[in-house]
């Protein structure tokens, strides 16, 4: 296998899935030229003048869309672990006898475990998208025919826009839709808030199928997905499991160690001077991220400070900020709970966003870099602040990138992590898989102390005299290694067998994931 | 002789389960299942072999099911299994004390909060110091199931030596005698600062514990003092409170356990605590009379922060100096409640300055204006200032800073 070392010092093969790839060239180092991809020209003359695009079944829609071997099928993950549509699509493909498909989800979840059967039988050749849980493990063991490609949310939009990925058929699960194909995530039993992750798919795919369990007469407003992009509309009894669409991620952590980390994060944002009138921050839906919002909220109230906007993953905690007047806006990328959905429905200042507005590398700027502070997780961080978010220390691929890489471009990116998990240190000499370059990671907050990237002299200066436990990342690493009985052995992987590539937001390859040996 | 024994817990994060089977031949075989196998599998095997070697076990099958246990837990679990089969083996598999834990504590240190941690839950022990309680109690008593009492001692012993307590007082709650005597052997030589004696009903109990502690200190050349903190948990204990408090010069505090106390007198424990009011006061009086710290019971509703605050403020007003905590989230609330108020601090400062003035004049009378201040009041003022400094409510350098401020 030929390859070369990229700008981050990681070996990258010449080809992934038999297509040449470009090794990572450094942040902002790759600026492609040319024109963006475009969907085929269509004419309204070919579509029903009465606007009714409803067909009898998903199978019918897929057939009419010309489903055949080798195609790329996309889906979105707004239903998270409650999605019932993606599995169905590939069940139908299997029934029809179509093989070698490429699945291009914006993320996969444990509920997609049945996809493994289709990977084994060859209905699906490989997955390009975040692989969580069982699918990640399947891929890690080298059992997928092709190689996985992991992109950030912004990277996914970019790959569609610059033609790296051509979607043949986009299947968009929509909580509410009209026969014309206008759709949104705000209403219906499967309400999930917004549908931003399906935006690129609707705009660029050759064929677009909207699947809903809540068909309303035209017009379905607001149209988060424009019916003008849609070919077919399908009605199904149930497109998702509402209890799983809005579950799991929205509880504040009860772990005292994680609460301590969250409190440190909030204090850091306050004491580093980031918390000031008109500031902005982003918080995801993990237990620690939610807890930090609650601490920060108290500080904001005490200091009488108001944010201009907060970015979510919205949850009731962000909604409370909005409703209590502690922020002017929520710019929401995905909605995690019922309060978030309600707020988006009722409050004009709770705004839906997409990977295009928030993250897209081929946009004329994007929102992510304008955010004052973002709080993220990681599986590993090295002494130079490089971080891993997709594999565990044992090499197993178990998480997706999500918006993680895109968010690193914010003005202050904070990784909030425990210093060790069970016996496994989080701060290491070299991360198993590089996902984010250390130059973009400003702060690591652990329960044992806060390490500020030495590049950020401004932050270190601002924190002079603070009672926060500011320590060097090496110091924390050494302390934890003593507790854990030394540094862990390197994971056992087959360096000749690349199972997945990790792209940087610009589409270059920052690292690869190897097959795990048992 | 039994030839096999088990110790530990399966599928419990940060813990492990082991089974040791002694064989006649075949050497040492280790069968390891671990969620960190690829990262620490070799390290685990090496440790296990060391322990077998240390105890002169030549032929055995050792099964380990590890859920990410830290070395101090793994070694404790294996040693516990060994000792179940070979109770006659007296030597102990000990790692050196970590240097961070070599500190000692003073008998009158603040004991506003003491965090109870079940001795057999390593996951909770590891981080207990992070929440900055004044004391951490590794519990061998009520939070440990009877079947686990024996093997938990190894965890607590190793934790005392190897887990960073981050400056907290290292406390252990032992079982009632006679079980508690065996507990003492596992903690006195290993850096425990203070021993909590549960269900104390008479002075004899304290004296018995004390005598055994002293003999263990002597035998193991323990130089530092080992303090005692009796817990009163019954009507008889309350009646004998002063005798208990005064039973040993090593007593540093007296506390009350209200769950057991209310059960003993046959009433429900209520939020207002009318049923235990007299008992609590009795504990305060007994402790003060014996010159040790009165410490209140725990507040058991972890979710009720308001209730905890109110209960702590009440405890403070009754004369208690601290409260037990059963969740790290309670510590901050307790510290805030026991912190002296601004008025208290201001008054204490004035008294302290008056004391200095009197000392300068070599006068025995401390006076504030035209009023004389009695010695206990002076002492209380000193205590308040110490606490205020500890809480970072005032700087240790407050005298100079106040002076500078007046100049401005």
pLDDT (tens digit, 9 = 90+) per residue, A179-188? 999 999 999 9
Q: Which two tokens stand for residue A490?
A: 């390197």
User: By the CB < 8 Å criterion, does B46 face chain A?
Assistant: no
**Alpha-carbon gap, residue B59 to B4, rounded angstroms:** 12
User: By the CB < 8 Å criterion, does A327 face chain B?
Assistant: no
**Alpha-carbon gap, residue A37 to A384, rounded angstroms:** 37
Q: Which residues contact A175 (CB under 8 A, 6 or more apart)?
A: A183, A184, A185, A186, A187, A188, A189, A190, A191, A192, A212, A213, A214, A239, A240
Mutate to test the interface with A, among B13, B39, B40 (most CBs of A within 10 A): B39
- The arithmetic mean of pLDDT across residues B128-136, rounded, is 96
Which residues of chain A are within 8 Å of residue B42 when distances are taken between CB atoms? 489
Domains and CATH numbers, chain A: 47-128+165-245 (3.40.1080.10), 256-491 (3.40.1080.10)
User: By the CB < 8 Å criterion, does B317 face chain A?
Assistant: no
> How many CB contacts within 8 angstroms connect chain A with chain B?
66
- The arithmetic mean of pLDDT across residues A157-165, rounded, is 97
From the list A509, A497, A512, the residue with the least C-alpha distance to A164 is A509
Q: What pLDDT sits at residue A284?
A: 72
Q: How far is CA B127 from CA A289, B137, B264, in A?
A: 20, 13, 34
pTM metric for this prediction: 0.93
Domains and CATH numbers, chain B: 4-85 (3.30.230.10), 99-338 (3.20.20.60), 342-407 (no CATH)
Cβ distance of B70 and A485 shorter than 8 Å: yes
Q: What pLDDT sits at residue B225?
A: 95
Cβ distance of B43 and A422 shorter than 8 Å: no
Pick A422 or A287 by higher pLDDT. A422
Q: Which residues contact B168 (CB under 8 A, 6 or more apart)?
A: B115, B128, B129, B132, B133, B134, B135, B136
Q: What pLDDT sits at residue A249?
A: 56
Mutate to test the interface with B, among A423, A469, A493 (most CBs of B within 10 A): A423
Q: Looking at the partner chain, which of B68, B327, B328 has a beta carbon nearest the beta carbon of A424?
A: B68
**Alpha-carbon gap, residue A366 to A361, rounded angstroms:** 8
Which residues of chain A are within 8 Å of residue B97 when distances are taken between CB atoms? none
N- to C-terminal Cα separation, chain A: 23
Q: Looking at the partner chain, which of A467, A489, A516 has a beta carbon nearest the beta carbon of B39?
A: A489
User: By the CB < 8 Å criterion, does A259 face chain B?
Assistant: yes
User: By the CB < 8 Å criterion, does A189 face chain B?
Assistant: no
Mutate to test the interface with B, among A422, A469, A491 (most CBs of B within 10 A): A422
Cβ distance of A489 and B38 shorter than 8 Å: yes
Mutate to test the interface with A, among B33, B38, B162, B326 (most CBs of A within 10 A): B38
Q: What pLDDT sits at residue B112?
A: 95
- The arithmetic mean of pLDDT across residues B379-401, rounded, is 86
Minimum CA–CA partner of A485 in chain B: B71
Q: What pLDDT sits at residue A247?
A: 61
User: By the CB < 8 Å criterion, does B166 face chain A?
Assistant: no
pLDDT tens for B215-259 read 999 999 999 999 999 999 999 999 999 999 999 999 999 999 999
Confidence of residue B362 (pLDDT cuts 50, 70, 90): confident
Q: What pLDDT sits at residue B407?
A: 64
User: By the CB < 8 Å criterion, does A515 face chain B?
Assistant: no
Cβ distance of A489 and B328 shorter than 8 Å: no
Mean pLDDT, chain B, whole residue set: 94
Q: What pLDDT sits at residue B227?
A: 98
- Asked if residues A6 and A23 have their Cβ atoms less than 8 Å apart, the reply is yes
User: By the CB < 8 Å criterion, does B70 face chain A?
Assistant: yes
pLDDT tens for A89-135 read 999 999 999 999 999 999 999 999 999 999 999 999 999 998 888 99
């Amino acid at each position: 296998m030929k390859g070369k070392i990229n700008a981050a010092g990681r070996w990258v093969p010449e080809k992934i899935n038999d297509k040449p790839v470009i090794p990572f060239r450094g942040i902002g180092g790759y600026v492609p030229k040319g024109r963006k991809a475009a969907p085929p020209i269509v004419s309204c003359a070919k579509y029903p003048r009465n606007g009714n695009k409803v067909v009898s079944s998903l199978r019918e829609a897929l057939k009419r869309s010309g489903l055949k071997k080798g195609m790329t099928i996309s889906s979105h993950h707004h239903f998270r672990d409650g999605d019932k549509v993606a599995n169905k699509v590939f069940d139908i493909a299997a029934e029809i006898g179509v093989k070698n498909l490429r699945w291009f989800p914006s993320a996969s979840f444990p509920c997609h475990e049945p996809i493994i059967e289709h990977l084994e039988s060859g209905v699906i050749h490989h997955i390009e998208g975040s692989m969580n849980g069982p699918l990640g493990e399947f891929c890690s063991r080298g059992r997928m025919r092709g190689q996985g490609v992991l992109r950030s949310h912004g990277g996914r939009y970019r790959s569609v826009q610059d033609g790296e990925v051509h979607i043949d058929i986009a299947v968009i699960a929509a909580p509410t839709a009209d026969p014309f194909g206008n759709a949104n995530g705000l209403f219906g039993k499967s309400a999930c808030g917004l549908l931003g992750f399906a935006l690129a798919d609707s705009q660029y795919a050759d064929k677009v199928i909207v699947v809903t369990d809540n068909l309303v007469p035209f017009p379905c407003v607001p149209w988060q997905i424009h019916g003008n992009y849609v070919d077919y509309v399908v009605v199904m009894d149930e497109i998702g499991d509402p209890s799983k669409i809005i579950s799991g991620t929205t509880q504040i952590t009860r772990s005292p160690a994680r609460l301590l980390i969250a409190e440190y994060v909030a204090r850091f944002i306050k004491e580093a001077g980031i918390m000031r009138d008109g500031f902005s921050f982003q918080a995801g839906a993990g237990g620690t991220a939610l807890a930090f919002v609650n601490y920060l909220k108290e500080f904001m109230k005490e200091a009488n400070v108001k944010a201009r906007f907060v970015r979510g993953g919205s949850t009731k905690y962000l909604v409370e900020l909005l409703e209590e007047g502690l922020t002017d806006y929520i710019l929401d990328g995905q909605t995690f709970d019922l309060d978030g959905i309600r707020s988006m429905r009722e409050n004009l200042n709770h705004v839906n966003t997409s990977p295009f507005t928030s993250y897209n590398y081929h946009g004329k700027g994007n929102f992510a870099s304008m955010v004052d502070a973002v709080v993220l997780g990681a599986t590993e961080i090295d002494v130079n602040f490089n971080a891993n978010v997709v594999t565990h220390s044992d090499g197993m691929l178990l998480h997706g990138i999500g918006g993680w890489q895109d968010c690193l471009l914010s003005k202050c990116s904070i990784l909030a992590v425990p210093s060790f998990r069970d016996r496994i240190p989080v701060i290491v000499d070299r991360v198993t898989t590089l996902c984010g370059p250390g130059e973009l990671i400003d702060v690591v907050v652990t329960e044992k102390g806060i390490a500020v990237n030495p590049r950020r002299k401004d932050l270190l200066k601002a924190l002079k005299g603070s009672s926060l436990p500011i320590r060097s990342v090496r110091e924390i690493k050494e302390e934890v290694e003593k507790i854990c009985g030394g540094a862990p052995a390197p994971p056992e992987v087959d360096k000749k067998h690349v199972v997945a590539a990790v792209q940087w937001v610009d589409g270059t390859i920052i690292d690869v994931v190897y097959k795990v040996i048992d | 002789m039994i030839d096999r024994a088990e110790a530990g817990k399966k599928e419990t994060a940060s813990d492990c389960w082991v089974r040791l089977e002694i064989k006649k031949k075949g050497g040492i075989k280790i069968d390891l299942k671990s969620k960190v196998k690829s990262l620490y599998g070799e390290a685990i095997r090496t440790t296990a072999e060391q322990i077998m070697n240390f105890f002169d076990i030549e032929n055995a099958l050792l099964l380990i099911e590890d859920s990410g246990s830290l070395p101090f837990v793994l070694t404790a679990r294996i040693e516990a299994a060994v000792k179940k089969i070979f109770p006659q083996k007296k030597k102990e598999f000990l790692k050196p004390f970590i240097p961070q834990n070599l500190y000692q504590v003073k008998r009158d240190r603040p004991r506003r909060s003491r965090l109870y941690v079940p001795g057999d839950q390593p996951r909770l022990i590891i981080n207990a110091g992070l929440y900055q309680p004044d004391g951490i109690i590794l519990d061998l008593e009520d939070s440990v199931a009877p079947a686990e009492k024996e093997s938990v001692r190894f965890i607590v012993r190793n934790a005392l030596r190897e887990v960073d307590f981050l400056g907290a007082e290292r406390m252990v709650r032992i079982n009632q005698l006679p079980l508690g005597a065996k507990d003492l052997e596992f903690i006195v030589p290993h850096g425990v600062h203070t021993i909590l004696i549960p269900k104390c009903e008479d002075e004899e109990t304290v004296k018995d514990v004390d005598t055994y502690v002293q003999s263990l200190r002597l035998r193991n050349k323990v130089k530092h003092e080992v303090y005692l903190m009796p817990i009163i948990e019954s009507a008889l204990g309350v009646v004998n409170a002063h005798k208990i408090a005064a039973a040993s010069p090593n007593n540093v505090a007296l506390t009350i356990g209200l769950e057991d106390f209310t059960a003993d007198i046959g009433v429900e424990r209520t939020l207002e605590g009318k049923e235990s009011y007299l008992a609590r006061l009795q504990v305060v009086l007994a402790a003060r009379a014996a010159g040790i710290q009165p410490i209140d019971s725990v507040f058991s509703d972890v979710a009720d922060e308001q209730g905890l605050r109110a209960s702590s403020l009440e405890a403070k007003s009754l004369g208690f100096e601290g409260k037990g905590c059963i969740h790290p989230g309670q510590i901050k609330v307790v510290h805030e409640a026991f912190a002296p108020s601004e008025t208290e601090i201001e008054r204490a400062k004035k008294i302290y300055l008056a004391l200095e003035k009197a000392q300068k004049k070599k006068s025995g009378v401390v006076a504030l204006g035209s009023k004389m201040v009695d010695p206990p009041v002076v002492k209380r003022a000193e205590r308040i200032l110490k606490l205020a400094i500890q809480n970072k409510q005032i700087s240790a350098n407050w005298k100079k800073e106040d002076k500078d401020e007046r100049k401005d």
